[in-house]
Chain A
Amino acid sequence: MLLTDGSPAAFRVAGLRAADYAEIRVERARMTDLVWRGDGLESSVTSRDEGCCARVIGPAGSSFASSTVLDAAAVLRRAKRDASALGAATGRLAGHRPYREEPVVEFGEPAERVGVAEKTELLGSYHAMALAAHPSVTGALVYYRERVADVELVTSEGTGIGYRRRDLTLQITVYADGGAARTAGSVSVGSGGDFSVVRDLAARVESAVATAVDLRDAPVLEAGTYDVVCDGPLSGIWAHETIGHLAEADHHLGDAGLQRSLAAGCRLGPPVLTITDHPGRPGARGFVPVDDEGTGGEPVALLREGVVARPRLHDRSTAAAFGETPTGNARALSFRHPPLPRLRTIAIAPGAASEEELIGGVGRGLLARGVLGGQTDRAGFTFMPAECREIRDGEVGRLVRGVVLSGEVLGAFEAIDAVGGEQWRGDTSASCGKQGQHPLPVSSWAPPLRLRGIRVHPG
């Protein structure tokens, strides 16, 4: 251990009282960022990002301090000083199930073992390919990012653990001249550090080019209410932005309305709908076997057969506030941030419907694939699919452009009437943002969903 080997000496020296809880987290990260824009490679940057943070929670006040100077004792003293001088609230933490370190699981092709030259050649070929693919292409962005961080956590309770976080994302966006607006097609992949996911993407780049080019001549959809079949990636984002964020327990603090709406036993959706927040699997972005408070991860069933099962995802502070058990969802983006209740891998259980059955049951609707953007304020949502095609009388038809799906979060669960049988488990480059902590890696496992009567408006 870099710090104290779990010894509480550092905490005694800082002058903590018996009732105070304190923790120190040290992080050493290496990052590689490669960006292609315009004619070619725009930047190639490697970064060493290191620092530590301390959190003090106790009857006299609570505070969090961070520093890029790797002096754990100094940052703990600052946190203690701020808690006494500036903090006001009394804090407390729930007891938790400490994580027991497990053997490191090897997976795929660790990105840090692939040289920069090889990465540059491979990813640059995608950029060149996109630019040369069609005369209407006006530009392409290729943005690759990898991060490997070694984290050590020591607490005044005696916890002393270390863990490694890996993340890798690749976003390729191709733009074409669509007259008054640009049209876009994209490729979005990610992993928990496995470089192999960015190999062999030529066919997907070609498909992104085709989408951007074809959208130029696609008609703008007429605003109205449509039945929408969402593919797995879009369904996963939808679940993350709706039930996922609603279940983060800090949002429940002081919000009696949300507590009522999401009380255990409330029916929100049809019996075919079961949604779980999961600690994920090795090699995926949302793999969180231990959270940043040292709590071991466990699956949390949010909706079981349409009924709220466990309504809250906790850190130790929110668990104490609600008299519940920490769930392993306390996540911090880096040493610069305190842990918050955050999602990991949102999983919609597969149903029984085939894609043909999902589409065949639609008279007037849309087949929406992938996602360009999405946002929720926990009351409403808006999503912009990457690609949308009309469905008429059970047949998939022409491409349409500028589609935005919107609605009320709680009302949308009732709109689901069928769940596909094939659960998608790939990662994308989409990350989660909350209270300035972005981009936090997350995953989703989701089958296609069919939603009835969704409000759609065009751009």
Chain B
Amino acid sequence: MSTLAEGVERIGEAVAAHAERWVVLGVERDDTVVEVGSGVPDAVRSSHETALCLRVYRDGRVGTACTTRPGDVEELVGDAVRNAAHGPPAPTDIAPPGFAPPAMPATVFDGDVRSVRLLAERLGALQHAVGLMVHGTVTRTEQTVHRAAPEGRTETGDGFFHIAALAEGAVAQLPWTGWTRSATLPAALTAWLRAAAEWDGLPSAEAPQRGHDVLLAPSAVHTLLTPLVTALSGTAVTAGRSFAAGRLGERLLHPSISLCDHPSADGDGDAEGTGGLAWPVGDDDGVPCAGLTLVDRGVPVGIYHSRRTAAACGEAPTGHGFRGNALRRTVLKPVTPVLNGATLSAGPADTGSFDELLGGVREGVLIESLMGGQQRAGSSPVVEARVRLGFLIRNGRVAGVLRPYPIALDLREVLGTRFRAAGDRPWAVSRVWTGRLPFVLAGGA
């Protein structure tokens, strides 16, 4: 039994005499990061993290304490009990809804610590293959999560690589991000960098005047979608800042568009090796993880909840309560509702490959990334941002690199009245937000 597992067990024994109910979450994680600069691995960082969080329910109140010292059981229990004296009222339903996640064996993924160096070398070697400067990071993560409550204990584990790459040319810097379980570069990364190399030699250009088509890359779709994703979280609803609260059931987006969050099956990757991460069977509140439709054919229909936000809204918890997110637990953060496997899709008639989407644009812009578009935290469906990297499209081809310019995008228009099509494959967009999104094409206003 590991030190952390022993700590979890001892906490359970020690706290039982002080609280009507209790929950312990313990996380043990090892990360190794190799940084690549100009095609060469040039720095290494590693971390080992062991942390515990104890939540107690005592005299109708909740007390929470966290520590990185698993051996100091009495101290942690004392802190949590003291906090309960001034803590928030306990929800009336403090027992989990009849669910104890089954123990899941630790996932075995290939490679020891040296595999991260190997991947970094392969990433750096792309610099010679594509003719652009290649920078980035390769991160190898192994994580074990322990959860204990009076009804039982669970232990889950996972391991994976994250790759973040930046192809730097004379006029453009194109990012790429994704996860993999094997020490092999995803084919999609190589293909993307080759495309970037072709675009780098293009001339600078101004965006066309109003009325042109807009093709959003997955990163820009993420920025555009963030107000809605935020507004549909139990956190925004309970804070009173959600523009979507009270408007569920009203059409907001194009009737072809749906937004779903679903746990992936273990090994459910795609042919190009950019997916396949498995989510836990239960969240940190002990609620089972299950698929949830957030937007059904253009109509927002669901809020994703932790147990606390669900109770505050008088709804059922949805299994989205995590400290940090499912891929990266952060014990020192509170449990909040988070999406882990969100994807946006369109009906078959409105879906095409990237080449088909691009080929359908006579005059427009391809927006790769936006800056400053996430400042309103779900309070407005409008994103005001600055185009950080964009391209001019003429006659179905990328024809120039846009100079940065300010832009305002209303998701009710781009994903509603102006929506024309979505890409046929989703992409990872961030190392923090673990959903995957497609390209989206919107017609001229």
Contact = CB atoms under 8 A, between A and B. Distances in A.
A139 B45 CA distance: 42
A382 B386 contact: yes
Interface stretch (B82-90, B99-107, B278-286): B82-90
B154 interface: no
B406 A382 contact: yes
Contacts of B86: 44, 116-117, 120
Nearest to B83: A44
Interface in B378-403: 379-386, 388
B240 A140 contact: yes
B38 A68 contact: no
Interface in B318-334: 332, 334
Interface string B54-67: 00000000111111
Given A86-B113, A138-B240, A47 B379 contact: no
A377 B380 contact: no
Nearest to A53: B47
Contacts of A50: 68-69
Nearest to B51: A68
A117 to B, nearest CB: 5
B222 interface: no
Interface residues of A, number: 74
Given A137-B240, A375-B375, A382-B384, A44 B64 contact: yes
A51 B312 CA distance: 36
B375 A384 contact: yes
Contact of A380 (B37, B376, B386): B386
A21 interface: no
Interface in A398-419: 402, 404, 406, 408
Nearest to B84: A44
A348 B51 CA distance: 42
A62 interface: yes
A62 B33 CA distance: 12
A128 B84 CA distance: 20
Contacts of A86: 32, 34, 41, 44, 113-114, 116-117
A35 B312 CA distance: 15
B238 A69 contact: no
B263 interface: no
B355 interface: no
A105 B19 CA distance: 41
A266 interface: no
Nearest to B235: A37
Interface in A207-256: 223, 254
Nearest to B168: A254
A180 B385 CA distance: 19
Given A61-B44, A382-B372, A46 B79 contact: yes
B184 interface: no
A459 B46 contact: no
Interface string A438-459: 0000000000000000010111
Interface in B335-360: none
Nearest to B121: A88
B47 A182 contact: no
B66 A406 contact: no
A245 to B, nearest CB: 13
A221 to B, nearest CB: 11
Interface string B357-374: 000000000000001101
Contacts of B380: 180-182, 402, 459
Contacts of A87: 41-44
Contact of A402 (B44, B87, B382): B382
B46 A63 contact: yes
B266 interface: no
A458 B375 contact: no
Contact of B87 (A44, A68, A181): A44
B239 A175 contact: yes
A156 B48 CA distance: 23
B125 interface: no
B379 A48 contact: no
A47 B384 contact: no
A117 B82 CA distance: 10
Contacts of A38: 238-240, 309, 312
A39 interface: yes
A223 B210 CA distance: 14
A40 interface: yes
A355 B116 CA distance: 57
Contacts of B85: 117
Interface stretch (A77-85, A277-285, A319-327, A356-364): A77-85
Interface in A26-53: 31, 33, 35, 37-51
A136 to B, nearest CB: 10
Given A46-B79, A63-B46, A175 B381 contact: no
B375 A372 contact: yes
Given A37-B239, A86-B117, A377-B388, A175 B379 contact: yes
B130 interface: no
A41 B238 CA distance: 12
A138 B241 contact: yes
Contacts of B375: 372-375, 382, 384
Contacts of A268: none
B136 to A, nearest CB: 13
A374 B332 contact: no
Contact of A182 (B40, B72, B242): B242
A89 B40 contact: yes
B243 A180 contact: yes
B45 A338 contact: yes
A182 B244 CA distance: 10
Nearest to B41: A88
Interface string B231-261: 0000100111111010000000000000000
Contacts of A37: 235, 238-239
5 contacts: A38-B309, A85-B114, A87-B41, A376-B371, A382-B406
Given A44-B64, A182-B241, A404-B406, 13 more contacts: A38-B312, A43-B87, A48-B72, A68-B51, A78-B46, A82-B44, A116-B86, A173-B239, A181-B381, A181-B382, A182-B243, A336-B49, A382-B375
Nearest 4 CB-CB pairings of A with B? A139-B240, A373-B375, A382-B372, A138-B240
Interface of B: 32, 34, 37-38, 40-51, 62-69, 72, 75-76, 79, 82-83, 85-89, 113-114, 116-117, 235, 238-243, 245, 308-309, 312, 332, 334, 371-372, 374-376, 379-386, 388, 404, 406-408
